[in-house]
Structure 1
Amino acid sequence: RTSPMQLERKRRGASLFYSILDDLIKFVSIVLCEGFASPRARMSCGHVVTPMSLTKWCKHLMEKVRGQFVCGQSGCDAVWTYEEVCKMALLTPEERKYFEETMAQNAAARNPNSKFCPGCMSPVTRGSSLNLYVHCKVCSAKTGRTFAFCWQCLREWKGKQPRSDRCENDDCHNSALKTLRECPEIQIQTEDGAKGCPSVRACPTCGSLIQHTGIGCENVSCPRCHMEFCFSCLKSTNECDAAMFCSGIAPRQKSIPVWHTESY
């Protein structure tokens, strides 16, 4: 009969135990965690964790849209690096992908001008919205050479800079603009009857992509900036309502609005 430990090891595709050859890991003890024995090791702040408890805690932080991995022990405000979390939680490739995608989404929600460097996963703020070239000081210090990445495709920069359209990496393109250009149409009820409308719009205030199913009200609220606007004409709900009737279906958007957060 397959034991809980074997099932968990099979799910992760790797051993749940820390490598005994890793001199940087400080072992503490073996405890019973969710039905099976699990090793405990000491984090950089001094508090001990198991791989599963650390993974669950860090997922909790991500769900709360936290920007850092903070120790969960009372009175401890230590911040763990992503590299430390990966190592001590024994994250699987699938879990790493989840963490990195969620971290990027959380960073965008907090600051539209900040993304995680693909080299070190540190948050980096773009200097200009007109330049896709982004210099990472952390990676440059580690490697001893200038490291920069593309804001658009999130790969190491190739080609000359500054550029606002794309870098020289293959298939570097603005995925948001591609979605706006190629999304299917839905039927929106207008004064003249049902008409086709792009199923995805960029919020007129912050640029977040919002999808409409064609069912329900035309007026939508952006979950990021809370702007309320008409999905058909792209005017604010107040402006559209003040006109007594919608002015019609705006054409497909060809640019992404930039959110000037200092105005809010």
Structure 2
Amino acid sequence: MNSKTKRYNLSDSTIRLVEEEDQFDFLCEGFDSPRARMSCGHVVTPMSLMKWCQQLLKQGKSRFVCGQSGCNAEWSYQEVCKMALLTPEEMKNFETLMALNAAAGNPNTKFCPGCMTPVTRGSSSNLYVCCQVCSAKTGHSFGFCWQCLREWKGQQPRSDRCENDDCHNSALKTLRECPEVKIDKVKGCPSVRACPTCGSLIQHTGIGCKTVICPRCKMSFCFGCLKSGYCGISDICSGGITPRQTFIPVWQRK
């Protein structure tokens, strides 16, 4: 379906069609479609709804809120997909932006692969996450892997991987396999480090001093010993070169 010609099907009994104005046609574009009522009671067309949700995603949102005056109702992703008549390509784009926005807003939140509902991780030492929404719908516990974002396979709890094929932590693999680099005459330092504050991966080319500033959380730390702040200009860190990291720090923002 071409997004420019999206129209509700008059024979679709699952959509509540109404003879009212499109309340989300903010630019008065006059979208050529019957009008329908959302779960919150406000009226949309497929195009006006899609444009409003795209605007929310551009603003860095990962959830869809009505936003009409006095209405803070949250629409489920499933409702947005249905009422905006999203194509498979549009859904893929939405889901990518939702995941990116959620990660930027809260590193402990990801989207359930079964229903695309935001789920907060309970423990950083367990990759198994239970989705309450999917569990309620299916009548049995539905869990997914925080690492590969697929339905969980194998025993749990586990902190390394689930039993899905090719389930691995790409960031840890980078930390494990990156080449060494010479920094401030200090040899044997891994060329990639996970920021000790937020966990973002940072690469050092060997040019410049040991102290770096994380572009994500803006914290400074020594690339050699991973201590926060300025480590000095000595060729050797006071605590020595910290070995390759074996876990990704989780940003505990306050």
Whether these two folds match at TM > 0.5 is yes
2:32 corresponding residue in structure 1: 38
How many aligned residue pairs are there?
245
Asked if the contact 1:233–1:247 (Cα under 8 Å) also holds between the matched residues in 2, the reply is no
Cα deviation code 1:95-139 (max 9, x no counterpart): 212222222233233333222111111122222222111111211
- Asked whether the equivalents of residues 139 and 147 of structure 1 are also in contact (C-alpha less than 8 Å), the reply is yes
TM-score, normalised on structure 1?
Answer: 0.76
Correspondence for 1:204 among 196, 210, 229 = 196
Q: Which whole-Å CA distance do the structure 1 matches of 2:65 and 2:98 have between them?
A: 14
Distance 1:23 1:130 in 2: 47
Name the CA distance, whole Å, in 2 between partners of 1:65 and 1:97.
Answer: 17
- Which runs of no fewer than 5 residues in structure 2 stay unpaired? none
- Opposite residue 20 of structure 1, the aligned amino acid is L
1:46 alignment partner, SS class: coil
Higher relative contact order (CA 8 A, sep 6+): 2
Cα RMSD (Å) of the superposition? 3.4
Work out whether 1:153 is the aligned partner of 2:143. no
Q: What is the TM-score when the length of structure 2 is the normalising length?
A: 0.78
Report if aligned partners of 1:150, 1:156 keep a CA contact under 8 Å in 2: yes
Opposite residue 196 of structure 2, the aligned amino acid is P
Post-superposition Cα deviations, 1:49-77, rounded to whole Å, max 9, x if no partner, equal: 23222222212222323242111322221
Residues 119 and 131, structure 2, Cα contact 8 Å, conserved in 1: yes
1:163 matched to which residue of 2?
A: 158
1:193 CA displacement: 9.7
Pairwise CA distance, 1:16 = 1.5
Q: What residue is the counterpart of 1:144 in the other structure?
A: 139
Deviation at 1:196, TM superposition (A): 8.4
Preserved contact between residue 233 and residue 246 of structure 1 (Cα < 8 Å): no
Which residue in the other structure is 1:239 paired with?
Answer: 230
Code of the aligned partner of 1:244: I
Indicate the SS of the match to 1:38: coil
- Secondary structure at the counterpart of residue 201 of structure 1: strand
What's the CA shift for 1:183? 5.4
